[in-house]
Structure 1
Amino acid sequence: MNRLLLLITGITLFFLGCKSDDVSHEKKIHGVSLVASKDSLAITEVKEIIKVHANYVSLMPFAFMKDINHPKIIYNQEKQWFGETSVGISQHKELLDSLHIQVMLKPQLWVWNGLFTGDIVMTNEADWIALEQQYENYILDFASLASQLNIAIFCIGTELHQFVVNRPDFFKRLIKKIRTIYHGKLTYAENWDVYQEVPFWNELDYIGIDAYFPLSENKTPSLTDLKSGWEVHKEAMKNFAAKKRKQVVFTEYGYRSIDFSGKEPWKHDRSKLLANYEAQTNCLLSLYQNIWDEPWFAGGFLWKWFPQGGNHISEQNRFTIQEKPSQTVLERFFEQRNNEVMKK
């Protein structure tokens, strides 16, 4: 029996013998982060999401900045991929509605050359004011769309640490403006290492974390290694959620199918190392075992899901779980938890 077959057999045996004994059985967010489609989303593509028992999709209308020190924001352009535009979001939402899948709308900035959005800082007050106006236009446009489409969750930003800590009053004013036009749940997606520094969690409904926590320095971490790695992060989130009296949602989570995938899960370089499916599978299982059933945890959105499936993806050591053993992990875990909720 080859190693891949052993891995799939082990996943099956794990779920056959696994039942949640935690007190929290309410319906969680079983979400996937949908890569923007180049064209209209097809019903066959959405049915692939249903097969893994997901009940939420994150749609991400990207906007673009020239540099971390330049205030201009470009978005909703015809030359963008269809799924990143307001027209595309509307088409996607209509189709997802027809199949009873809810949506989080998660506008995200992308800085040219892949510079980290958490480092966006203006060099003078005039540029800060210009950035605030540009960002407000961007967010309020999509908040209005979220309201029109009756979207369940709206995320006001993603990994904007320096912007947030330098201009907290702007974000508090922005949240008030969003509340006047959008009446669903609000969150913000902050990076795993600085989420406790966000100054406006009290104004939102969920504490949003992009959950790329370091868990293990081993090449192929075991579930025991990973459980130990979760302990400090789990306790910190539990205490912070209690302090803020809000649930945590993982606005992103995921692991590459590569050696040392639990060491620095945030890394997304195009490494040419061989795929390690077992490492990815163990990391996902550890998250589901150690975090998912906690009462302070609302669920999360797996990074990332391609509408066209996994066949076109040559980098098989990257984040997607499609057509890998980890897809079985996701499918069986979500199915099991959905069944438990229906039995209550």
Structure 2
Amino acid sequence: MKRFKLLIVLCCLFIQSSCITQAKKINGVSFVASREAIDGKHVTPVVNLNANYAAVMPFGFIKNLSHPEVVYNIKGQWYGETNEGVKQYIQELRKKKIKIMLKPQIWVWHGEFTGYIEMTNEADWKVLEASYSKFILEYATLAEDVNAEIFCIGTELEKFIANRPDYWFKLINEIKQIYKGKLTYAANWDEFKRTPFWEQLDFIGVDAYFPVSETKTPTVEACLTGWKEHKQVISTMSEKHKKQVLFTEFGYRSVDFSGKEPWKSDTNMIEVNMDAQTNTTKALFETFWKEDWFAGGFIWKWFHNHSRSGGKNDSQFTPQNKPVEALIRKQYSQNE
């Protein structure tokens, strides 16, 4: 009898282990908002990529790094960045069975880094907190209304979080009263180790722009080596918090030195290098997609008008109409 019970336990453990190993990855795209509504022809290329998720990204705006007011849904804002546009995009993506991460983001005028948003006095901190809460809770409500599978509570806001941790714990509780799906936060690659509230969320979210190679055209092997130290830190965080890691953004530009400082969108970097983009991306897939503690990620970035996006002369992040697109398609097909 004891041997029979032991056999049942072992079978259950084997089945559970198999389910974890075979679990679907989040094979996502960061679906860039445009000035116009989308329809099926804009979503079909996402399906053809074998993607199963899209991050839809409404925007709020701040005048400068020490300005406390977030404005959004304003006149002149692009349609896809507004409440109405978000709903319409999600509706069209849903028709093709694409799941959703709703990821509201802040844009500081002139493109200054959001991680440096920091107020100079208590009064302004209070204004910022109230303003950000209004912004994020409105989208939490929208996420619940449209049954978004994941809601991202913020993107790369390290100084805001470091200065006001109590506010963020309170905000997460308020979000949970509204939205019942999975929660994450998109921490910058050099921030996630210090983010204090992973225990309150479902995924450890990382914008994965880790430096992996300093060469002009990095090889896959060099990038695999470059990932080793970073991977150890990431996996340790997953183990510590008993949470899967989700790359809320990942990707490389098709440009020389793509693995050196992958976060850079410097317009002076114009030397197109498709091999650099492909090799760095391949190494990232080989490093993470086989790991059970890794949930998947969202490629940065995917434009609605596929036929006019990317291409052989483009040095920016999008993989569209570049050799790396075929690599992503193949990788994303493996977890269908």
TM class, shorter-length: over 0.9
Matched, 1:259 2:256: yes
The 8 Å contact of residues 207 and 247 in structure 2, kept in 1 or not, is answered as yes
Structure 2 unaligned residues grouped into runs of 5+: 1-19
Q: Distance in 1 between matches of 2:286 and 2:241?
A: 24
Other-structure match for 2:178: 181
The 8 Å contact of residues 64 and 109 in structure 2, kept in 1 or not, is answered as yes
Deviation per CA, 1:100-142: give whole Å up to 9, x if none: 1001000100001111100000000000000000000000000
Q: Distance in 2 between matches of 1:41 and 1:137?
A: 27
The 8 Å contact of residues 156 and 188 in structure 1, kept in 2 or not, is answered as yes
Q: Distance in 1 between matches of 2:265 and 2:121?
A: 31
Matched, 1:154 2:151: yes
Q: Secondary structure at the match of 1:49?
A: helix
The letter for the 2-side match of 1:287 is L
Matched, 1:82 2:68: no
Other-structure match for 2:328: 330
- 1:277 CA displacement: 0.2
Q: Distance in 2 between matches of 1:272 and 1:289?
A: 27
Equivalent residue in structure 2 for 1:96, among 93, 97, 106: 93
Other-structure match for 2:17: none
Q: Distance in 1 between matches of 2:268 and 2:123?
A: 40
Matched, 1:291 2:288: yes
Q: Distance in 2 between matches of 1:37 and 1:55?
A: 21
The 8 Å contact of residues 187 and 206 in structure 1, kept in 2 or not, is answered as yes
Q: Distance in 1 between matches of 2:24 and 2:189?
A: 24
The letter for the 1-side match of 2:211 is P
Equivalent residue in structure 1 for 2:104, among 93, 107, 126: 107
Other-structure match for 1:226: 223
Q: Secondary structure at the match of 1:337?
A: coil
The letter for the 2-side match of 1:73 is V
Q: Secondary structure at the match of 1:234?
A: helix
How many pairs are equivalent?
318
Equivalent residue in structure 2 for 1:141, among 133, 138, 143: 138
Q: Distance in 2 between matches of 1:252 and 1:269?
A: 18
- 1:313 CA displacement: 5.1
- 1:94 CA displacement: 1.1
Indicate how the Cα distance of structure 1 residues 148 and 194 shifts in structure 2: closer, same or farther if over 3 A, else same: same
Q: TM-score, normalised by structure 2?
A: 0.92
The 8 Å contact of residues 281 and 329 in structure 1, kept in 2 or not, is answered as yes
Matched, 1:117 2:114: yes
- 1:310 CA displacement: 5.2
Q: Secondary structure at the match of 2:119?
A: coil
The letter for the 1-side match of 2:301 is K
Q: Distance in 1 between matches of 2:179 and 2:150?
A: 10
Q: Distance in 2 between matches of 1:312 and 1:225?
A: 29
Other-structure match for 2:45: 48
Matched, 1:171 2:179: no
Deviation per CA, 1:20-49: give whole Å up to 9, x if none: xxx832101000001102111110010010
Q: Distance in 1 between matches of 2:182 and 2:94?
A: 17
The 8 Å contact of residues 25 and 293 in structure 1, kept in 2 or not, is answered as no
Q: Distance in 2 between matches of 1:332 and 1:183?
A: 33
**What CA RMSD, in Å, does the superposition of the two structures yield over aligned residues?**
1.5
Deviation per CA, 1:141-174: give whole Å up to 9, x if none: 0000001111110000000000001100000000
Q: TM-score, normalised by structure 1?
A: 0.90
Matched, 1:203 2:200: yes
Q: Distance in 2 between matches of 1:166 and 1:127?
A: 12
Equivalent residue in structure 1 for 2:27, among 22, 25, 30: 30
The 8 Å contact of residues 310 and 319 in structure 2, kept in 1 or not, is answered as no
Other-structure match for 1:128: 125
The letter for the 1-side match of 2:278 is T
The 8 Å contact of residues 141 and 178 in structure 2, kept in 1 or not, is answered as yes
Alignment of 1:242-257 (within 5 A): 242-257=239-254
Equivalent residue in structure 1 for 2:317, among 319, 326, 330: 319
Q: Distance in 2 between matches of 1:93 and 1:81?
A: 16
Indicate how the Cα distance of structure 1 residues 210 and 310 shifts in structure 2: closer, same or farther if over 3 A, else same: farther
Other-structure match for 2:237: 240
- 1:312 CA displacement: 5.0
**Percent of paired sites with the same residue:** 48
The 8 Å contact of residues 255 and 269 in structure 2, kept in 1 or not, is answered as no
Structure 1 unaligned residues grouped into runs of 5+: 1-22, 339-344
The 8 Å contact of residues 189 and 206 in structure 2, kept in 1 or not, is answered as yes
- Which moves more between the two structures, 204-213 or 90-99? 90-99
Q: Distance in 1 between matches of 2:247 and 2:269?
A: 28
Equivalent residue in structure 2 for 1:70, among 56, 63, 67: 67
Q: Distance in 2 between matches of 1:268 and 1:206?
A: 27
